[in-house]
């Protein structure tokens, strides 16, 4: 690329940039004067010690940087923050999880735009880090490749049975109800998370890393190749060569991420029963990319895409698959290749960072385990594992991981049991105040009301670990972890804090859930709603200063991706 015009020329070319070049020399990344003639590549890393999915990324980034230099670029590494959803689960720390996505997006935009980088490699892995980087990359819109740190192995308890983080969370509920001993809970604790990497099931982190493949912004097997597999190092090296190829061909982020590629990502998501959080993040990504992608489009995709893989936290009969099983079966390419056999399930002519179209990329891909990844002619269900519910309780939509719901729960009706917070609902569950047949409503936990739209894995796992777990439904304007299973409906919009219907229902109101018809409704007339709305007052903001106070003032509801208003 010597002599070609580059974005980075802004900070390195011409006599007036002598001070800039002096500072660049001081970084140590400029090893020869000829380096000023090469493209500058941002290495956006998310290494942080507190997140097990990220503890290895410091060394992983060195492999990427060396490969970028070998391919003819000059690498400059920078870091983002990160929040571990599992560690902050069930306490005030969870209020910072979703807001951290916005900070990460701002960091990516700030560093990459301010320093005029020519291209970028993003190294995310867990929770909000993947979507935050995607959102930032959409704003900067330069040639970009994502290469994640990879999933962890599934654990094994002392008897050799597979376990994971959700086993530990549900173990807390089992222990609270006296169903398991202290020793069993300790066994789960010690073995649920055996290695570095993103937690081993189809939770939010792995869902998003798999979706990056389907978006075309990451290489094949990015989502399933284990963090501890040496082959991931080769994936990193390939990512370095591909990003420079994209730069030579002038292919930017927006050339790859389009409404059609988002359709493909959601097709994968519903085919493998991904996290409900992906809906929130895809809406945010589309908004940052300036793409029209309404929440109703998710149901259109799910209607034409069958459910092919049930990965933890879902159960496939009496067994549970994890990411290592999906990888051995052929990974995301094998799922996509099955979907490609059905007309109109995928857009096959979209470009990817491999340099091939998606259709070309899937040629010759085989499904190595038709029990783990069902063939297209033998799906778990004809429609995908996620769906959007509408109705007078969720006029702007709500989300459920229908692939992790047992068949007998596809319809449910019961009286509302309303709680103003996750803590109040958790206390009621532990105190025996929740009865079989109840519809547990946890409100004022949305993006604005929480603030931060906390995940409720502690509550859902507690209920699942108790005998009545299969006999109650749970609704919230907050979020659920990708590890949630059962009749749990989140992202209800409008949220309670903005006067949404979920904030107006009362104990005893009868709520109806009909998953087949995508319906979430309460037995209230418009006149009753109007009467209650007249007496409703917006709650006082929980934070009056600091980041969460600013977030509360600026954030949109879940149906708009919970992004910040410009």
Q: For each of the chain's 566 residues, which pLDDT tens digit applies?
A: 444 689 999 999 999 999 999 999 999 999 999 999 999 999 999 999 999 999 999 999 999 999 999 999 999 999 999 999 989 987 889 999 999 999 999 999 999 999 999 999 999 999 899 999 999 999 999 999 999 999 999 999 999 999 999 899 889 888 988 999 999 999 999 999 999 999 999 888 999 999 999 999 999 999 999 999 999 999 999 999 999 999 999 999 999 999 999 999 999 999 998 888 999 999 999 999 999 999 999 999 999 999 999 999 888 999 999 999 999 999 999 999 999 999 999 999 999 999 999 999 999 999 999 999 999 999 999 988 889 999 999 999 999 988 778 777 889 999 999 999 999 999 998 888 999 999 999 999 999 999 999 888 778 877 877 777 788 999 999 998 766 678 899 999 999 999 999 999 999 999 999 999 999 999 999 999 999 999 999 899 999 999 999 999 999 999 999 999 87
CATH code 2.40.37.10 for 38-154+194-362: no
CB 285 within 8 A of CB 134: yes
pTM listed for this prediction? 0.94
In sequence order, what are the residues at sequence separation of 6 or more whose Cβ sits closer than 8 angstroms to the Cβ of residue 518? Answer: 299, 387, 388, 389, 390
Q: Which residue has the tokens 């935009």?
A: 109
In sequence order, what are the residues at sequence separation of 6 or more whose Cβ sits closer than 8 angstroms to the Cβ of residue 82? Answer: 46, 48, 50, 51, 54, 100, 104, 126, 127, 128, 129
DSSP secondary structure letter of residue 403 = G
| Residue 160 burial (CB count, 10 A) | 6
First to last CA, the chain: 37
**CA of 471: how far to CAs of 432, 433, 436, 487, in Å?**
14, 14, 5, 9
CATH topology of domain 387-560: Glucose Oxidase; domain 1 (3.50.30)
Q: How far apart are CA 330 and CA 370, in angstroms?
A: 10
Q: How far apart are CA 273 and CA 257, in angstroms?
A: 22
| Residue 260 burial (CB count, 10 A) | 15
Catalytic residues: 481
Which tokens in the block code for residue 308?
Answer: 């092919």
Task: Identify any residues that bridge with 43 across adjacent strands, giving them in sequence order.
Answer: 77, 121
Q: Which residue has the tokens 């994502």?
A: 146
CB 172 within 8 A of CB 461: yes
The torsion angles phi and psi of 45, rounded to 5 degrees, stand at -105, 155
Write down the pLDDT at residue 482: 64
Q: How far apart are CA 160 and CA 505, in angstroms?
A: 47
- Annotated binding-site positions for Mg(2+): 85, 127-128, 455
- Annotated binding-site positions: 85, 127-128, 455
- Taking the domains of the chain in order of start, what are their residue ranges? 38-154+194-362, 155-192, 387-560
387-560 shares the fold of 38-154+194-362: no
Task: Identify any residues that bridge with 564 across adjacent strands, giving them in sequence order.
Answer: 555
């Amino acid at each position: 690329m010597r002599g070609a015009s580059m974005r980075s020329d802004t900070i390195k070319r011409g006599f007036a940039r002598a001070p800039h070049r002096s500072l660049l020399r001081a970084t140590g990344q400029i090893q020869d004067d000829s380096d000023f003639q090469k493209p500058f590549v941002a290495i956006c890393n998310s290494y942080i010690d507190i997140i097990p999915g990220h503890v290895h990324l410091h060394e992983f980034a060195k492999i990427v940087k060396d490969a970028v230099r070998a391919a003819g670029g000059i690498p400059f590494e920078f870091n983002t923050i990160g929040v571990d959803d599992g560690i902050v689960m069930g306490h005030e720390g969870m209020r910072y999880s979703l807001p951290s996505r916005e900070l990460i997006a701002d960091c990516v935009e700030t560093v990459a735009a301010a320093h005029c980088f020519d291209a970028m490699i993003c190294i995310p892995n867990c929770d909000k880090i993947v979507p935050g980087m995607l959102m930032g990359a959409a704003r900067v819109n330069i040639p970009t490749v994502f290469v994640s740190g990879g999933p962890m192995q599934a654990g094994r308890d002392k008897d050799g049975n597979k376990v994971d983080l959700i086993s530990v969370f549900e173990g807390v509920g089992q222990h609270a109800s006296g169903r398991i001993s202290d020793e069993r809970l300790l066994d789960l604790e010690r073995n649920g998370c055996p290695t570095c990497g993103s937690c081993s099931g189809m939770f939010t982190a792995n869902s998003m890393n798999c979706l990056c493949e389907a978006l075309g912004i990451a290489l094949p097997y990015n989502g399933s190749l284990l963090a501890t597999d040496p082959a991931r190092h080769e994936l990193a090296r390939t990512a370095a060569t591909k990003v420079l190829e994209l730069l030579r061909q002038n292919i930017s982020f927006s050339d790859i991420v389009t409404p059609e590629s988002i359709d493909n990502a959601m097709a994968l998501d519903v085919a493998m029963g991904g996290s409900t959080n992906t809906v929130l993040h895809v809406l945010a990504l589309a908004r940052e990319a300036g793409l029209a992608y309404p929440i109703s489009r998710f149901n259109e995709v799910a209607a034409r895409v069958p459910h092919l893989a049930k990965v933890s936290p879902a159960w496939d009969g009496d067994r549970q698959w994890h990411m290592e099983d999906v990888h051995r079966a052929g990974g995301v390419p094998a799922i996509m290749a099955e979907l490609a056999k059905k007309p109109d399930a995928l857009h096959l002519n979209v470009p990817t960072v491999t340099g091939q179209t998606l259709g070309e990329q899937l040629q010759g891909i085989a499904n190595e385990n038709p029990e783990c990844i069902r063939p297209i002619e033998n799906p778990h269900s004809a429609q995908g594992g996620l769906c959007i519910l509408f109705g007078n309780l969720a006029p702007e939509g709500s989300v459920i991981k229908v692939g992790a719901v047992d068949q007998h729960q596809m319809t449910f009706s019961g009286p509302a049991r309303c709680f103003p917070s996750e803590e109040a609902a958790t206390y009621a569950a532990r105190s025996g105040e929740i009865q079989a047949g109840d519809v547990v409503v946890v409100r004022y936990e949305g993006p604005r009301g929480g603030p931060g739209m906390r995940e409720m894995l502690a509550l859902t796992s507690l209920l699942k670990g108790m005998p009545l777990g299969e006999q109650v439904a749970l609704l919230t304007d907050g979020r659920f972890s990708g590890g949630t299973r059962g009749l749990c409906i989140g992202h209800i919009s409008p949220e309670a804090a903005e006067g949404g219907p979920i904030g107006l229902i009362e104990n005893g109101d009868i709520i109806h859930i009909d998953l087949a018809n995508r319906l979430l409704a309460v037995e209230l007339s418009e006149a009753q709603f109007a009467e209650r709305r007249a007496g409703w007052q917006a709650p006082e903001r929980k934070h009056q200063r600091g980041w969460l106070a600013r977030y509360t003032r600026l954030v949109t509801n879940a149906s708009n991706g919970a992004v910040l208003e410009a």
